């Protein structure tokens, strides 16, 4: 399973020729990120209808039936705040499984999980989770959650990075400081491959932007042999 960070809380997850895009952002509302457009995918997942997570217009879907997907996707509803959704409602955590590898995109989780949800998300191979926010769990509570669930690879997302990201978000360092420095690994790429053998780590993927993939040109229709021999004859 390959996980590519496209910025903010948006990822492209691929395996076996199938691509899932989750939580595309609207750059008009997410400070510092360029416009997200032309992202090609076979399946689109949205954690909740917020401008930073539901920019469906930025994704081009292939139209392939989801029955062809190698992934199993299980959504779980969680609160977006600490007061049972009174302030911000709910959002979805997506458990994404393929080939024995289990990953989860935690959306804008803002409250502790239920016991059943904890059991489903225990010892994940990879967890994509906000680094801390006043609109979701703060960084210290994110760290507590990872300590409870024990994911092997933690991929911080949805954080303030220089001029990128809303000001209400915390910087990634507010989360990573809770872990041993040897666990934090800075990448020069935006993509990580997750297998059952990937070493435990906090994977800081590098934002590289997104270049829309070229659309294949339609096939050239060649004239028949008869039309080439008799170009002026109508049939």
pLDDT range class, residue 221, cuts 50, 70, 90: low
Global pTM value: 0.87
pLDDT tens column, 46-89: 999 888 889 999 999 999 999 999 999 999 999 766 656 556 66
| Residue appearing with tokens 């990879």 | 126
Strand partners, 15: 18
The structural domains of the chain, with segments of one domain joined by +, span: 2-229
Mean pLDDT for the stretch of residues 170-174: 93
Homologous superfamily, domain 2-229: Ribonuclease Z/Hydroxyacylglutathione hydrolase-like (3.60.15.10)
Q: What is the mean pLDDT of residues 187-214?
A: 90
Q: Which residues of 112-129 are buried (b: 16+ CB within 10 A; e: fewer)?
A: bbeeebeebbeebbbbbb
Q: Which residue, 8, 39, 1, is CA-closest to 205?
A: 8
The pLDDT value recorded for residue 223 is 59
Helix or strand or coil: residue 231?
A: coil
Give me the pLDDT at residue 217, please.
Answer: 45
Element (H, E) at 14: strand 10-15
Backbone dihedral angles phi then psi of residue 193, each to the nearest 5 degrees? -95, 130
């Amino acid at each position: 399973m390959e996980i590519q960070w496209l910025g903010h809380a948006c990822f492209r997850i691929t395996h076996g020729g199938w691509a899932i895009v989750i939580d595309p952002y609207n750059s008009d509302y997410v400070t510092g990120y360029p416009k997200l457009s032309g992202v090609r995918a076979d399946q689109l997942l949205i954690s909740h209808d917020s401008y930073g997570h539901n920019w469906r217009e930025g994704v081009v879907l292939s139209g392939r039936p989801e029955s062809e997907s190698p992934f199993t996707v299980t959504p779980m509803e969680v609160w977006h705040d600490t007061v049972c959704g009174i302030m911000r409602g709910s959002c979805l955590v997506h458990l994404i499984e393929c080939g024995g590898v289990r990953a989860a995109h935690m959306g804008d989780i803002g409250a502790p999980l239920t016991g059943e949800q904890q059991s489903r998300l225990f010892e994940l191979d990879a967890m994509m989770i906000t680094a801390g926010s006043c609109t979701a769990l703060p960084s210290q509570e994110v760290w507590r959650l990872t300590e409870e669930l024990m994911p092997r690879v933690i991929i911080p997302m949805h954080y303030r990075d220089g001029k990128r990201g809303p000001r209400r978000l915390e910087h990634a360092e507010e989360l990573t400081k809770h872990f041993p420095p040897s666990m934090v690994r800075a990448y020069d790429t935006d993509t990580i491959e997750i297998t059952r053998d990937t070493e435990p780590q906090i994977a800081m993927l590098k934002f590289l932007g997104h270049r829309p993939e070229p659309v294949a040109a339609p096939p050239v229709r060649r004239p028949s042999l008869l039309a080439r021999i008799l170009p002026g004859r109508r049939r």
